[in-house]
Structure formats: C-alpha cells, structure tokens
Amino acid sequence: MRVALLTLIGLALFPFFFHAIDGYAGLATQIVIVSIASIGFNFLLGYTGLLSYGHAMFYGSGGYVAALMLIRVMPQHPNLWLAVIGGTLAATALALLVGALAVRLYGIYFALLTLAFAQMIFFVVEQSQDWTNGDDGLQNFPTALLPVGPYTIDLGTPLPALALGPFGNLSDIKLWYVFAAVALLGVILGMRALTRSQFGEVLTAIRENEERSSLIGFNAAAYRLAAFAISGALTGLSGALRALYDGTVAVDAVGIDRSGSFVIYTIVGGVQTLFGPVIGTGLIMYLEAVLSAQISYWRLIEGVIFVAVIIFLPAGIVGTLTRKAAERARQRRALLAESLRARTGGPT
C-alpha cells in the first residue's frame, strides 16, 4: 500500500517539477515510459543476474511493430490498445526465441549473444527499406486513439486548464502523461508482487546458488527463460508506448547506444531495487535533456557518473540510500533496546 501511495504521489507531482525549470513537459512522459523498460531490464540483471547487452532489440521491436500496425494494419481505425499489445507481444516472442538459445550460456557469453542478436536486428532493420524506411525510420503515422467504453480518447488532449501559480497550468499536461503514469504504476506494483511471489523466490535462490538449486530440483534454464521473456515484454511495452507517444521510431531504438542506456539508467539508480531504475532513468534522461542543450560533452559526464557509481556506490543511488536507512533503523532499535534495559534494570 505504501508503495502504491508513494508512487502515486511521486507521479502526480513529477511533471510540475519540470515546469519549474522551464518546461520540459514532454520529457516527463518520456521518462515515465522509458522507466518501464528500465524496470524490465533491472528484473533481468538484478533479480536473475543476467546482463543483457541487447535489450534495445525488444525496445525497438516493440516500437516498430506498434508503428507498423498503425501504418499497415489499421490506418483507418488506429487503435492504441491493439498497437501496444501487438508491440509487446512481438517483443515477448523475440525474447522467447533469443532466450531459448541464450539462457544456457553464462556471463560474458550471454552478454555477447544478446549483443549479437541485437546487432543482427539492428542491421536488418537498417537495411529493410521497404518495411522500416531504413535510417530515417517511420514517421507521421496516424495518431493512435484509445477506445474506452463509448468514448474514443485522443491522448494528445491536454488536461482541463487550471492555473497553478509558479508551476504553470494543469493544461500543460496531456492525457498521455496520465496514461503512461498509470501504466508505470501498474508495472511497479506488478514487479513488487512478482519479486515476492513463489516464482521470484525461486529466481532469487537460483541467483544465489545455481548449483544447489539445480540439485534440489529447480530447472534453472526454464526460470531464466521465463525471466528473460518477462523482461523483454516490459521493454517491448515501453518501446511501443514511446513510439506511439513520439509519433516516430528510428533505428536508434534498436541500436547499441540504446542498449547501453538501459544499463546506465539501472546501475545508477540501483540494481535490485524497485525504484532504482525509475530514479536512474529520470536522473540521467533529465541530465541528458538539460545538459545536452548547454554543454557539448554531457555524455562524458554521464560516463563519469556511471563509472563513479560502479566504483563508489555499487548499490546505486536508491540502493545506497536504502542501505543507509536500514542501517540507521537498526542502530536506533539497538539504542532503544539498550535504554529500555537500563531503565528496567534488566540483564545487559
């Protein structure tokens, strides 16, 4: 419950923070959408222990398939639900295919195989002019509409106008943000349930000691494949939403830089934490947007932050804060117990 409330409040306040620093309202939506992919990536790295260097293949395929569905399958009745579901399913299918081959490999070989597949898909996408329009990518596709009961909503519609002083106006925010925020909330709550579920419990055991897990009867490869598919699905969902929001999707969505970005967001935010990927995505994407306008070497700063986090804060920002908080709580409890004993004259 606390998690849901916290997330809700955070998401509600989030876009206004941007207006205070001179209006990057669209960025807020993008951050929320990409966070879903980061959570997916973190599920694989943090809870399963697998480093994938090709996650952009899921992000990109989700985006391209969603866009293609709008362009080729339903240009007259662009249905957002179907486009998103289509993109997510495509990414999941890809994850199952690649995963079936990759999960039997360890460490560096797994990372390299995912990289290999991602690169293959990158070059295929780049070359398939007819389908993907090569380097230019797909643009100007019909705006997806969201049928909800008797209504059809255009997510580009802004919220009703309501002046909010220094934080601008409520109408600065489009319905897209609300939609994306609800999606992120769902993903966060779902991920929380997943990690505490029976499936998550076994996954943690496999990550902690795979040999023992196999020899008490857990099929480690099957679990890794399932985790890979879930991870790919979330990343594909994110890619589909992003493509539909941006109204455009290009090869950089399947590129090696995109794969690298998920790694950076997650590590900086905190691997193995629930909110880490979200915070990391927000922080880095924000810096990218703000700094890139002012400094030409912002990617260098990004790299330095990344390396600094790995060396000094290996648990990431959220992970380190969580650890510090837990430490302080433990100390407080110990002190409390100590003072109670002193007062009641009990055994020390």
Partner 1 sequence: MILETKGLGKSFGRFAANADIDFSVAQGELRAVIGPNGAGKTTFFNMLSGTTEATSGTIFFKGNDVTKLSGTRRVHIGIAKAFQTANIYPEQTVRQNCRLAALAHKQGAFALEIVRRSERLADVDTLAERAIEQLELTNVADVRSGDLAHGDKKRLDIAIALATQPEILLLDEPVAGMSRDEARKTEALVRKLASSMTVLIIEHDMDLIMGISDSITVLESGRVLANGTPAEIRANQRVQDAYLGGHSEAEMGA
Partner 2 sequence: MVALTQALLNGLVLGLIYVAIAVGLTIVFGTLRLVNFAHGAFYAIGAYIGLVVAQNWGLGPALLAAPIGVALFAVLLDRVLLRPFYGKDVTSQILVTFGIALIVEETLRLIFGATTQQYPALAGLATSVSLGPFVYPAYRLLFAAGVIVMLVLVWLFMEKTDYGLIVRAGVRDRTMVQLLGGNIRQASTIVFALGAAIAGLVGAAASPIYSIAPGTGFAFLVPSFVVVVVGGLGSFWGAVLGGLLIGELQSLTTLAFAPAANVIIYLCMALVLLLRPQGLLGESEVIRQ
Q: How far, in Å, CA of 93 to CA of 85, rounded? A: 12
Considering only CA atoms, which of 260, 20, 221, 1 is closest in space to residue 118?
Answer: 260
State which residue, 97 or 340, has the beta carbon closest to partner 2: 97
Applying CB under 8 A, among 11, 226, 309, 318 the residue interacting with partner 1 is: 226
Output phi, psi for 132, to 5 deg. -110, 0
At 229, which amino acid appears?
A
Measured from the CB atom, the residue of 128 and 214 that comes closer to partner 1 is 214
Choice from 69, 70, 220, 229 touching partner 2 (CB under 8 A): 220
Cβ contact 66:87 at 8 Å: yes
Hey, what are 104's tokens?
């039997």
277 three-class SS? helix
Binding status of residue 219 toward partner 1 by CB under 8 A: yes
Answer yes or no: are the C-beta atoms of 37 and 238 closer than 8 Å: yes
- Residue 157's region, left for phi above 0, alpha for psi from -120 to 50, else beta, is beta
Q: How far is the CB of 313 from partner 1 (least distance, A)?
A: 21
CA–CA gap between residue 129 and residue 120 (Å, rounded): 15
Contact stretch for partner 2 (CB under 8 A) within 15-23, 27-35, 159-167, 296-304: 296-304
Residue 178 contact partner, candidates partner 2, partner 1, none, CB within 5 to 8 A by sort of partner: none
The structure tokens listed for 286 are 């924000």
Question: Which DSSP string corresponds to 11-74?
Answer: HHHHHHHHHHTS--HHHHHHHHHHHHHHHHHHIIIIIH----S-THHHHHHHHHHHHHIIIII-
Shortest distance, position 173 Cβ to partner 1, whole Å: 32
Structure tokens at 258: 């995109």
Residue from 68, 273, 302, 317 binding partner 2 (CB under 8 A) = 302
216 touches partner 2 (CB under 8 A): no
- Cα three-residue angle 339-340-343, rounded to 5 degrees: 85
Minimum distance from residue 311 beta carbon to partner 1 (Å): 24
For residues 185-214, which are near partner 2 according to CB under 8 A? none
Q: How far is the CB of 220 from partner 1 (least distance, A)?
A: 8
Residue 81 touches which member of partner 1, partner 2, none, C-beta under 5-8 Å by kind: none
Which of partner 2, partner 1, none interacts with 215 (beta carbon under 5 to 8 A by kind)?
A: partner 1
Residues 175-214 that bind partner 1 (CB under 8 A): 193-194, 196-202, 205, 208-209, 211-214
- Strands 248-249 vs 151-154: parallel, antiparallel or unpaired: unpaired
The residue from 16, 218, 286, 298 that contacts partner 1 (CB under 8 A) is 218
Asked if 100 interacts with partner 1 (CB under 8 A), we say: no
- Residues lying near partner 1 in the complex (CB under 8 A) are found at 193-194, 196-202, 205, 208-209, 211-220, 222-223, 226, 230
- Residues lying near partner 2 in the complex (CB under 8 A) are found at 45, 49, 51, 53, 101, 104-109, 111-113, 115-117, 119-120, 123-124, 127, 220-221, 256, 260, 263, 267, 296-297, 299-300, 302-304, 306-307, 310-311, 314
